[in-house]
Structure 1
Amino acid sequence: MLSRISLIPGLSRCQGLRGQCMSGITRCYASNPKENSWLRSLFVRKVDPRKDAHSTLLSKRETSGLYKIQFHNVKPECLDAYNKLTEEVLPKLHQDPDYPCDLVGNWNTWYGEQDQAVHLWRFSGGYPALMDCMNKLKNNKEYLAFREERSRMLLSRRNQLLLEFSFWNEPTPRKGPNIYELRTYRLKPGTMIEWGNNWARAIKHRQENQEAVGGFFSQIGELYVVHHLWAYKDLQSREETRKAAWTKRGWDENVYYTVPLVRNMESRVMIPLKISPLQ
């Protein structure tokens, strides 16, 4: 049996009792009531106390970067108008040096949910920067007009606040042309640290071709959600890169241990908008 070493501090491991001892323990429990507290401790899983939340253990401590990802489902007949409006207004907002938010990437979904726009922002000052940004937008007439016009083009929208995994690449602007894949994993509650442990070892197998753009996990919105963002030249390059990972020792082990942690997963292949820093 393979033994796994925890790479992230604070991860405790529990071991259960084996079935062959159960009958004897049950008889002892019944005949010795005074031993109840000792026997009860055998049946109760105890978790070592931890002073840090998993968000602190997994995220980059040297920065206070907070990310927002936004999904807009656009009326099919409005997608071109939506893209044009977005490309006109968003760059103006982000040229303002007092606007504490960086545009990371903007895309339309190519394969996956159709007529969808995906936007990713970074708030370098964490939650204070997010609140500062929100307060300034409330008084920005151009933004309010943009939001009102945009709302008439949408079927639905949702967002999440994310943190970066400490072992992933920092998403930085890159030249194109590229396609991007956003792989979304919805994990079983309580498994985020185990996911991080395995990917901290495995990410090296997917960085040789610079395809690893960024890795994030949710803080507000739908919880226990992981987003991995990859870049490829085209779909054929994606296929070849993913196949090559299986030839590297350790990649199969990562897949073996992480698949049981996943409740469901989704893949989007996306095309960047003209204004996207990730091209």
Structure 2
Amino acid sequence: MAVLCGLTWQGTGDLEFSVPTGFVHSALPHGARGLASSSIRAREDSWLKSLFVRKVDPRKDAHSNLLAKKETSSLYKLQFHNVKPDCLDAYNKICQEVLPKIHEDKHYPCTLVGTWNTWYGEQDQAVHLWRYEGGYPALTEVMNKLRENQEFVEFRKARSNMLLSRRNQLLLEFSFWNEPAPRAGPNIYELRSYQLRPGTMIEWGNYWARAIRFRQDNGEAVGGFFSQIGQLYMVHHLWAYKDLQTREDIRNAAWHKHGWEELVYYTVPLIQEMESRIMIPQKTSPLQ
């Protein structure tokens, strides 16, 4: 191929014109130049957007069917309670008195997975994780029974005077994570929460299904969940470590495993926001 005075010669056949953009711009009347420039800029903007805007593939099924465990119908509730600083000890005391009774009562189809206070992250905060065996019907049954439980009614009344705010989420568990099970301590726990871009949950699950093996050698993986009700497109990963230095060592070791850096490379663009909480289990928490 040769270019002669703006003419592109393919070697055979006719000559093709290849006119520089600047030549077109100077040759056009003044009014038409703006139209040509706008068209060129529009194409350039479109090309740039294609580099930075992720395309979201259409889904054929709900997240709950594609990502959750099929062999169980467990539903999880994650609670965040922001406590008045001068009431934290009293709050912990009444929680340690009342919550284990619900956990141990066979008439309630729920279990207390863990209960913590935030150490690093949002201060004066309590975090509770419940499992409802039987999904939404179990959740409804527990709620109805607690309304008739006079001790719990009094507990809620006392608790309300100790709180600044509270919120919760209903979650399902990723199929490729282990189900959280009681463990002996002492441990610290890290709850890493990710706000994903809408439409990217399946992609996140596909990457982590292959990569979770990189983080299971030391038994630090406790549970992985995604939201169903509450703040949507939220993912929570729960980890356990002996202490902060052990956490640092384990996380650094992951970078020496082939494939881990690829997971990070492909999942970071899926995240809008992320947060890490370091938590200390309460005395009555099944996860110690």
Identify whether the pair has TM-score above 0.5, normalized to the shorter chain. yes
Match for residue 119 of structure 2 among 104, 110, 120: 110
**How far is 1:47 from its partner?**
5.9
- Between the aligned partners of 2:207 and 2:240, the Cα distance in structure 1 is 21
User: Secondary structure of the residue that 2:170 maps to in structure 1?
Assistant: strand
CA contact (8 A) 2:117 2:126 kept: yes
Match for residue 220 of structure 2 among 211, 214, 225: 211
**How far is 1:49 from its partner?**
6.6
Map 1:122-133; keep pairs closer than 5 Å.
122-133=131-142
1:192 paired with 2:209, answer: no
Match for residue 244 of structure 1 among 234, 248, 253: 253
Report the count of equivalent residues: 234
- Between the aligned partners of 2:262 and 2:277, the Cα distance in structure 1 is 25
- Structure 1 length normalisation: TM-score? 0.82
- Between the aligned partners of 2:234 and 2:98, the Cα distance in structure 1 is 30
Residues 46 and 156 (structure 1), Cα distance of their counterparts in 2 relative to 1, 3 Å cut: closer
**How far is 1:48 from its partner?**
6.1
User: Secondary structure of the residue that 2:115 maps to in structure 1?
Assistant: strand
- Structure 1: runs of 5+ lacking an equivalent: 1-44
- Structure 2: runs of 5+ lacking an equivalent: 1-54
Match for residue 59 of structure 1 among 65, 68, 78: 68
Match for residue 176 of structure 2 among 139, 157, 167: 167
CA contact (8 A) 2:91 2:162 kept: yes
Residues 205 and 89 (structure 1), Cα distance of their counterparts in 2 relative to 1, 3 Å cut: same
Partner letter of residue 211 of structure 1?
Answer: E
- Between the aligned partners of 1:129 and 1:178, the Cα distance in structure 2 is 30
1:158 paired with 2:196, answer: no
- What is the aligned-residue RMSD (CA, Å)? 1.2
- Structure 2 length normalisation: TM-score? 0.80
**How far is 1:243 from its partner?**
0.1
Asked which structure has the greater CA Rg, the reply is: 2
Match for residue 90 of structure 1 among 74, 91, 99: 99
Runs of 4+ in structure 1 deviating by more than 4 angstroms, as ranges, are 45-49
Identity %: 74
Residues 268 and 49 (structure 1), Cα distance of their counterparts in 2 relative to 1, 3 Å cut: closer
- Between the aligned partners of 2:101 and 2:208, the Cα distance in structure 1 is 37
- Between the aligned partners of 1:209 and 1:89, the Cα distance in structure 2 is 33
The answer for the alignment partner of 1:18 in structure 2 is none
